Structure 1
Amino acid sequence: MVFDGKLATCAGVSAGIDLALSRAARIAGEERAKAIQLMIEYDPDPPFDSGHTSSASRHTKVLANALLIRDAVGVSNMTAGSGLAWSRVIDRVRARRSRTRAR
């Protein structure tokens, strides 16, 4: 990871997760970043040793559970998101058909 003022960069999937956790720690604090790491069960070679319940502190487990409950997506949100995604797909198919018919 490379940090240069407001800019940060990295390469690779795990590095991206490491970068996100590092930025979360800078923005919201290390405890919050540890809780996020536990919530996504990230444990290959992470910046914090809290990627599994066997290694996370009790405080981190409590915070992760509280965040999961607070940020849980309701069924109505999921339905709206799915509806929007399908609307976009249908619009693209219709536009493609229109272009094909015009030729």
Structure 2
Amino acid sequence: DELSVAVPTKGIKYIFPCKCWLAKDRGDGLTVRLLNVLDSSTINIIRKVIFSITVVTGDTQYAGTDTNIFLTVYGVNGSTEEMLLPKNGDRFERDQEDTFTLEID
């Protein structure tokens, strides 16, 4: 019936009327449709802000950690809950930079 596309960084969700299948084995067999944004309706959603966080670990002896690292972001409207930075592989090692992308409401 419809296709929805959320754009969290703008706080908008577009809803496009489609009323057809998007499948090779159903309907007319097409998997691509041209949908006009002017035909869509919009819903306001919680706006998200994307942050790029870089953690720089020093080069001194024994620098680095294997423990969990948490981050809290503070701003004029308050603060976030504590967020655990994912520790995949060898993050937070001596003389290293680790960058994370976080979406925050």
**Normalising to structure 1: TM-score of the pair?**
0.22
Task: Pick the structure with more strand per residue.
Answer: 2
Higher RCO by CA contacts (8 Å cutoff, separation 6 or greater): 2
Richer in helix (by share): 1
Say which one has the larger Rg.
2
